[in-house]
Amino acid sequence: MRDLGHIQNPYSDGKVIDSCSIFGMMDTSGKRFSGEGIIRAIGNMHFRGNGLGGGFAVYGLYPEHPDDYAFHIMYNSDAAKIETEEYLNHRFDINLAEVVPTKLNEAIINPPLVIRYFASIKPEIAHAHCVNQSQDDYVVSRVMEINTHIADSFVFSSGKNMAVFKGVGYPEEIAEYFQLAQYEGYLWTAHGRFPTNTRGWWGGAHPFSIHDWTVVHNGEISSYGTNKRFLEEYGYECTMQTDTEVVAYAVDLLARRHNLPVEIIAKVFSPPFWHAINRRSPEQQEMLGTLRQVYSGLLLNGPFTIILAHQGEMIGLTDRIRLRPLTVGVKGSTLYLSSEESAIRLICPDLDKAWIPMGGEPIIGSLKSPIIPGSYNQNSAAAGSQGI
């Protein structure tokens, strides 16, 4: 019999279906803050999950190792650890390896070993392999290889100055296990999961990460079959049978490989309807029309809210008819994204502004254009939508 602890989708359903709570907060001035607030906020939406998955992504986490790839890898066996470390040692200079500190609580059952490695690509390999591809491309390929070829190993995250912590449990229990209140970052996202499936595998919890992008996702992507086959043409193998994996790969394709900005990516995932496009200026009609025609296979159709994050940027997005909730809050230079307004109000009762964005309208927080404190006061003219 297969060990369910190792398999994301033991019944080989077309895909795993889940419903969730999601939360994101970012200080767009770049100031780092502890995980305490987000842990309370996601905990406030306890009932939206069912204890079968929780996780966090943190950016600006390791300022002491800004240029190293911070691999966070889970192991279900000693053999996997030995094999993976040998694999890494051949290709990377490991500057630091340490067990991610944990504190067991009774909710956590049979946790895997999680080790973090701060590493850089060996210069000779960088020289040989990174001519036609960037170092990031090389790392992405190696992570895929570990995840698909080394049994019992799974890379939670591999970006620089960031990490993903996740597992099977309620998010507040996972936070306690990984002692996340002690960490600081300028951007945090969190996820509580309600899969319609068995008790799963730690790697299957959100956030999903590829390169330094992370995705937390609430919803079911009904276009999964179309999206998956589209991505397969670009060499992505969707092995985990979850629709969140599809989002992560789609972001990777559009952002890293096709070099598109997030405003445009949002219009691929949640494009305006044709009748709305036809009301735009000729230039925008051409842009939006071209995106819809070329990337029709990446329209994410069905109810979803996602929070995407990467270095310096956080994006909240719903499907184009907003079948899943998203509330935005702003206080000073901090941007909050949440499934429920109550969770934001719990940790920040006096928001400058809170609103529900239109379906398909991206909400973007960025270090490049930080929110000017006060600009979102209720009466301010600046308050409103962003994006194209």
With contacts defined by CB under 8 A, name the span among 72-80, 104-112, 158-166, 290-298 that binds another protein. Answer: 290-298
Member of 74, 150, 168, 260 binding another protein (CB under 8 A)? 260
Of 301, 311, 375, 386, which one interacts with another protein (CB under 8 A)? 301
According to CB under 8 A, which residues from 203 to 242 bind another protein?
Answer: 219-220, 222-226, 228-230, 232-234
Q: Which CB, 260 or 343, lies closer to another protein?
A: 260
Buried b (16+ CB within 10 A) or exposed e, 289-326: eebbeebebbbbbbbbbbbbbbebbbbbbbbbebebbb
* C-alpha distance from residue 227 to each of 45, 160, 247, 295 (Å): 30, 28, 9, 10
- Binding span for another protein by CB under 8 A among 24-32, 80-88, 198-206, 301-309: 301-309
Give the separation between CA 368 and CA 374, rounded to whole angstroms: 18
Q: With contacts defined by CB under 8 A, name the span among 63-71, 120-128, 203-211, 294-302 that binds another protein.
A: 294-302
295 binds another protein (CB under 8 A): yes
357/319 Cα distance (integer angstroms): 11
What are the counts of helices (DSSP H) followed by strands (DSSP E) for the chain?
Answer: 11, 18
| Options 239, 296, 369, 378; binder of another protein; rule CB under 8 A | 296
20 noted as active-site residue: yes
| Candidate ranges 47-55, 150-158, 260-268, 347-355; the one touching another protein (CB under 8 A) | 260-268
Closest approach of another protein to the CB of residue 309, in Å:
21
Residue 254 CB, shortest distance to another protein, in Å, is 8
Is-contact 236 249, C-beta < 8 A?
yes
Contact between residue 106 and residue 180 where contact means Cβ atoms under 8 Å apart: no
259 CB-contact burial (10 Å; exposed 0-12 / middle 13-18 / buried 19+): exposed
Provide φ and ψ at 348, rounded to 5°.
-150, 85
The DSSP string of 173-205 is: HHHHHTTGGG-EESEEEEEEEEESSSS--GGGS
The nearer residue to another protein, 206 or 331, going by C-beta atoms, is 206
Residue 368 lies near another protein (rule: CB under 8 A): no
Nearer to another protein by C-beta: 19 or 161? 19
Burial class from Cβ neighbours inside 10 Å (0-12, 13-18, 19+) for residue 186 reads: buried
- 275 is a contact residue toward another protein (CB under 8 A): yes
Catalog residues that contact another protein under the rule CB under 8 A. 12, 14-15, 17, 19, 196, 219-220, 222-226, 228-230, 232-234, 257-261, 263-264, 273-275, 283, 286-287, 290-297, 299, 301-303, 320-321, 323, 388
Q: What residues are annotated to the active site?
A: 20
